[in-house]
Every structure is written in structure tokens, then in C-alpha cells.
A and B are shown apart, each in its own frame.
Chain A
């Protein structure tokens, strides 16, 4: 019996090996498919229109997920990043695509969340029978695919101008999603979002111009080497301009005004992608600019500033979330606060203590914590927004004060809401707990206790606003259970629960499994430390 089992395992192992070997030859095609597949599907859907757009989008979901899975498996199998020079032209003349451990994880997160959102949205954006085409459903399905292509392009891009185009595509697909319902409030929110995003994009482009003028290349790796070699003040100015622009798109606190009305006003499925993924795209670029492009000693002063804005976002977003009366607004303000945690990564990773300690053991814990926060928030927030959509369907409103007895109407959705909430609060066991714990540990190790206070305070605020919802929805409700206005399909509740469970399960993985994320980063690490031991460069920029 056990011999039979052994044979089974052996056979599976051989199959996996054969599959991997087959995949290795396809790595270039897979990288190209990340961009071509959603774009082709979008164009085809738009051209055929009507019901075809929905059908094509739904067929693209498993294909895109398979491509992301295959790429993740390949990176894991080979233990090194995948690279592809488009058209065979190497940078600086051509444009290169690259998937390292971090990109692979983000591509997979994107694919999973979009698949969940797509399946969830079938009920909301189906073309009704008897009608050839409705504007909202055609727009939703084509925009969802365009958004997927844009996110993939952001995560695999290596050329700053290419990334500019990707981030613009992301904005142009996200803004119409905000105003799918077309009411004046939605249009106003979309317009406001667009104006903030345009300010952001033009500042980013100005930075690109300055960097090209100073170094003659836009490839991130080549720029990093060039900046390490000769530090021009223009490099710092350019990165600060680009960061300011990207902050407007990420909605960090002084530039956050557009986010709550835009994310809360969109249809539930759209809010889920906007809050879970779109703001992360521009954050990922800030992350790359400060941690990959610039040598660490440049960033140290400014990293404290970014951390301070992040702390402000955590506290401000938390307090405002407590004061909201509508569920979707509460979730939108919670996004504002959770984005703040991501910016605590900069002072923690760029602290001299971390950089010197990281010589031997790869990525610092704060780096891993930041990535984990990004991924677990993506799953948790997608689940929460879609859950809020179901609540609004069943109850006919989303006023928090009147959600009494919800636990009897939508028990599964409310459970999912609570589980996703665990991750946002940072309670174990959840991805959010592991992330916040790693950030806390980094705060302790680098002696920056003030960030630890912020993280703990943010957790208390998060707990408070989530308790407000759960206390009303879970416990009060009187004797007569409210009847749902409209029935909610169980399958949609299960999608919401599934996404919440993923954000929870991330916390059950052993920490060593996150070593995968650092595939393709070893070279940068040693280079960063070398740069730190050469203080001569600093004098040129900070006299």
C-alpha cells in the first residue's frame, strides 16, 4: 500500500519536472502573454461588443491566472528572475521585461483578485436577456481586462518611460470604473480622481526627463548603476518629483482627497479592484524608485518624511473611518489608513542599522513585512468591498447604524468581513498580523520606537471601526430577523469568503517561505551595502 503511494508521489514528481522543463522553453512567450492576452481580449471584446465582451472576459480569467501561476512556478523552479528583451533589443536601446520573486508574487495576487472580482461581477454586469448590449456591462468587462494588462505591465516593466505608459493606462481604465453608474456624484468623484492623477503623471514625466538628461538611459538597473557611479543632484530631484506624482495616485495623506468618494461611489466589484490593486500599482513604483534605483544613503532623510506621512495616514484614516455612517465610506477610509503602513517600510528598510545587518541574510524583515502588507491588504480589501456590495443588495442600503440582524441574513458574508478585518487589524493568525509583526520587529531592531507606537495605535483604531460594524450587524437585531430585500447567490458569498481566507492563510505560512520574494534581489543587496561603505558619494549631494 505504501509502495503504491510512493509510486504515485514519484509519478507526480516526474510529471511536475517534465512540466517545468517544458515551461522553461516557454518563458519568453509567457512574459509576452502577460501583456498580450488581456489586451487582445479587451480589444476583441470591445469590437464584438454585447454578450461577447462578457464571455471573452470570463474565458480570459482562467487563462490569465494560468499564465501568472506558470510564471510563478518557473521563477520558483529556476530560483532566478525571468527576463525578456522585447524584439531582441537590449537596454538602453530596447525595453526589457523582468519578473523577479516580488513581481511574480504581485502578478499572482493580481490574477487571483481579478479572477475573484470577475466571477463575482457576473451577476451585476450580465447583459440582460432581450437587450443586445448595455453600456455599463460592456464598459466594465473591457475596462477590467485593460486594468489587468496595465497592472501586469507595471509589475514587469523595467524601463521608466514604459512604466509611465503602464501607469497612465492604469489611470485611464480606473477612472471610468469610478463613474460606471453615471450619477453626478460619481462623475464628480471620477473627475477629481483624474485631475489628481494627471498632476501625478506629469510630475512623473518631468522626473523621467531629468533622469534621461542626466544619465542617458531609463532602464532601472542601468540607472541604479549609473547613480551609484556618479551622483548628480538631478537624480535626487527627479526621484522626489516622481515620488510626489506617484503619491497623488497612491492617495497618501495630503493628496488623498479623491480616494474616499471615488472608491466608495463605484460599483462594488469596481471598488474592489480600485482599492485592492490600482493604488498598489503606483506604490510599487515608489517602492522601486527608493529601494532599487537610488542608493540607500540618498533616501534616509526623505524616508523619514515618507514614514511620517504614512503615520499620519494611519491615524487620520483610522479616525475618519470611525466617524463614517456608510459602510462603503468606512471601508474606503480604511484603505487610506492601510496604505499608510506601506510607507513605514521606507524609514525601516533604509535605516543604517538594517542596511548593515542585511549584508549576509538577504532582505530585511521590514521589506518582507511591507510586501506582505500589500498582498494581504489586497485580498482583505477586495473581500470587504465585495461583501459590502452583497450587504447593500440584501439590505437595500449600507447605513451602518441600521445593519442590525445582518448576521441572520448573510452569515457567510459577515464571517468573511470579520476574517478580513482580522488581517486589517493585524491580529493573529492572518497575513496582516505577520506583516505588522515584521514591521514592529524592524522598528525594535532599528531603535525607531515611534513607528512602533503608530503601528499599535493604528491597530486599535482599526479594531474600533470594525467593531462598530460587527457589533451592530452581529449581535443586535431583535427577535424578528430582517428579511433580505433581494436574495444573494451563495456562490457570490463564497467568493467573498474565499478572498478573506487567502488573506488569513498568508499568516499561516512559515516566514521562511517568503524567501521566495527575494529571488533576483541578491545582486542589489550587496551593491547597496557597498554603496553605503563609500560615504564619499554622499558629499556630492548633501554638502
Chain B
């Protein structure tokens, strides 16, 4: 098995694991981790494509490498935004654990009810 095939398969495995996690887990933080795993798989595939498409005398095609750097920045920003939302949600709703499903009656903290009950403007 060549190096390219091995890394290609690894990348695909990460994509599969991430996708499974993103779909199956209810916990928002787990979903976020799964998204990052899935993203890593995609970035690894970009690396494989860079190596496979390398010109003579080069170790890799530079364009996919450049794309990965941009992709990393975007994924980082997305993760930061999601974590920010999670923290904020935990603070305002007084939750220990955050699902992405609508809050169940159990998890709605009573002390926030008056301030937050305002519906659409």
C-alpha cells in the first residue's frame, strides 16, 4: 500500500467518524468536536491530493496546501463562534449540559424565565 493510499484511507476514516458523530450525538459540544474531526479528515485529503498532484521535482502541489490553510482558519473561526455561543447559552440559561435540541422543560432555569420569555419583537 502506497503512502498516498494509506493517508487517503485515513482521511476517509476520519470523515466517516466525524460524520457519524455529528449526526448521532445530541450533545452540542460533542457535535462540535465531531465537526472538527470531520474537518481534519477533509484537510488530510487535501494533503493527499497535494502530494498526488505534485509536479516533477516538487514534494507537493502548492494550491491544495494554500486551500488547507484558509480552510483551517475558517474552521477555527467557526469553532470559536460555536464555543462562544455555547458558553453564552450555558450562562444565560444556567445549563450544565447543552443539547442542540430545543430546551426541555427540565433544563429551563426558572430564574431566567421572566427576562427571557419575550417572544419575537
Contacts and interface: CB of A to CB of B under 8 A. Distances in A.
Contacts of A183: 92, 115-116, 118
A445 interface: no
Given A199-B35, A201-B78, A205-B71, A188 B102 contact: yes
A398 interface: yes
B88 to A, nearest CB: 6
A212 B64 contact: yes
Contacts of A264: 120
Interface string A203-233: 0011011101100100000000000000000
B64 A188 contact: no
Contacts of B108: 184
A308 B35 CA distance: 29
A482 B28 CA distance: 45
A332 to B, nearest CB: 10
Q: How large is the interface on A (under 10, 10 to 19, 20 to 34, 35 or more residues)?
A: 35 or more
Nearest to A179: B85
Given A209-B46, A398-B119, A184 B103 contact: yes
Interface string A165-186: 1001001100110010111110
Contact of A392 (B46, B63, B93, B121): B121
B81 A209 contact: no
Interface in B4-45: 15, 18, 22, 28, 31-32, 35, 38-39, 42, 45
A195 B49 contact: no
B30 to A, nearest CB: 11
Interface string B81-102: 1100110110011000010101
A213 B89 contact: no
A208 B66 CA distance: 13
Interface string A388-406: 1100110001100000000
A191, A208, A265, A326 pick with most chain B CB within 10 angstroms:
A191
B92 A182 contact: yes
B70 interface: yes
A261 B102 contact: yes
A184 B78 contact: no
B85 A194 contact: yes
Contacts, number: 123
B120 A265 contact: yes
Tell me the interface secondary structure of chain B in the complex.
helix
Contact of B15 (A182, A185, A206, A392): A206
Contact of A184 (B49, B77, B92): B92
Contacts of B116: 183-185
A165 B70 contact: yes
Contacts of A182: 88, 92
A328 B120 contact: yes
B60 to A, nearest CB: 13
A209 B38 CA distance: 13
A209 B71 CA distance: 11
Nearest to B79: A198
A165 to B, nearest CB: 7
Nearest to B117: A183
Nearest to B45: A209
A265 B120 CA distance: 5
A187 B81 CA distance: 12
A14 B31 CA distance: 62
10 contacts: A165-B70, A168-B74, A184-B89, A185-B116, A187-B88, A191-B89, A199-B22, A212-B63, A328-B120, A397-B119
Given A172-B77, A195-B82, A212-B46, 15 more contacts: A182-B88, A183-B116, A184-B93, A187-B85, A198-B78, A199-B35, A201-B74, A202-B42, A206-B15, A206-B45, A209-B67, A212-B67, A265-B120, A388-B120, A398-B119
